[in-house]
Amino acid sequence: MVVGDFPVEVDTLVVGAGPGGYVAAIRAAQLGQKVTIADKGNLGGVCLNVGCIPSKALIQAGHLTEKAHGNEELGIKTENVSVDFSKVQEWKGKVVNKLTSGVEGLLKGNKVDIVKGEVYFVDQNTAKIMDEKQSQTYKFNNCIIATGSAPIEIPSFKFSDRVLDSTGALNLKEIPKKMVVIGGGYIGTELGSAYANFGTEITVLEGAKDILGGFEKQMTQVVKKRLKKKAVTIITEAMAKGVEESKDGVKVTYEAKGKEETIEADYVLVTVGRRPNTQEIGLEQLGIEVDDKGLIKIDKQCRTNVPNIYAIGDIVPGMPLAHKASYEGKVAAEAISGEKAEIDYIGMPAVVFSDPELATVGLTEKAAKEAGYKAKAAKFPFAANGRALSLNDSDGFLKLITREEDGLVIGAQIAGPNASDMIAEIGLAIEAGMTAEDIALTVHAHPSLGEITMEAAEKALGMPIHTM
């Protein structure tokens, strides 16, 4: 006897359980919707499983390894530092498992139905969710697509045991002696720095004139200074041509300054960007509009051109940031519930976990002037901060961007230790419409890195204490 595929009816179907999808599902459920979330992979998506979280765990282990070698300036000498990389990977796995199981608990606690399988759209109210054993039809009133992105593969560098994407680089079983990194963006810089701290000889090949495109040169200079100390070689305006693989290594060919060169290494890591996962899910069945990059066009409420279908995260225009996806997920869930939520990226931070960290929010001085603001920049160095000096980590600066006529905070850029944490205060200031005076009048604990924000605000007011 064959049992028919009777449709399961839900208010909202969420496709993809990454930081966009699972947050959208929880918020939709909190607002009274009957929600099903589906993903063919693990809960947490790329971010929790093979992206943000494991990479930061590896970066932290790399920092600890570097510090374990001591510091003669501080009178600290160590001998015979060793790294059991299998233990590092085991610890990293525990961090990931704790968070993914936490996501499962949150979804279940909010009564979200979790389904594992591939989703294919039949029409704007119907989808099939398929696993290896069966196919189940789902009828939905609204749908939030949050399928994320995947690493771009260069045709002449097909991913393999020796040609790695970011996932492969995070899961190596040993510390390589040598690694070539193709692409000096945030992923290449973060993972390259992490392995350099473990002692790997790193060569970065970047096609543009500088690494970390999108960040100001003043900021990237601070990172490049540290990379040089780690003996990382950066070759800019370099075109990767091809790779020869052997059982125990690779030979990478590239062109720079009109000459063809080769480098031998244990592995080559390819980090040249990510592409949206909008293929093979039946978007054409819905008539959803995508641009030439495969990104889905959305309005201020994350709604596509099909009124009951929403899209968020890496599959829509903007930077591929986990926190952007989560933010858009909340907006979409609230819009479906009839609330007047709209996306507003004015306080959206971007962070690179390089050494030292980089962070930016709002407008740069250049972007502010291009947007028609009379803007000024107030820059305060970490080297003039007591806490930074006591940490022996004083490279970098904070630059506060304010509107000249009233001191309104419209942006900031930070290069320095804990930039990823410090940027939140300025994001709040921008969202709340605060001025430099509001920040300057806020008492910041001493000694702390947070004082740098206060000092920059005082400088913006023309009354700095700890700098001329």
Q: Which helix (H) or strand (E) holds 326?
A: helix 322-336
Beta strands in 223-369 (DSSP E): 233-236, 238-246, 249-256, 259-265, 267-270, 274-276, 309-311, 350-352, 358-362
Angle of helix 186-198 versus helix 52-68 axis, rounded to 10: 30
Task: Give me 245's structure tokens.
Answer: 């693989």
Is residue 175 a contact partner of residue 280, using CB atoms and an 8 Å limit?
no
Task: Give me 278's structure tokens.
Answer: 């909008």
Residue with tokens 């028609």: 372
Binding site for NAD(+): which residues? 183-190, 206, 273
Torsion of CA 256, 261, 266, 271, to 10 degrees: 20
What are the angstrom distances between the C-alpha of 73 and each of 76, 85, 231? 7, 28, 19
DSSP readout, 154-192? Answer: PTTS---SSEE-HHHHHT-SS--SEEEEE--SHHHHHHH
Binding site for FAD: which residues? 56, 147-149, 314
Q: 340 phi and psi, to 5 degrees? A: -90, 35
From 63, 444, 446, 466, the catalytic residue: 446
Binding site: which residues? 56, 147-149, 183-190, 206, 273, 314
466 is catalytic: no
Return the active site residues. 446
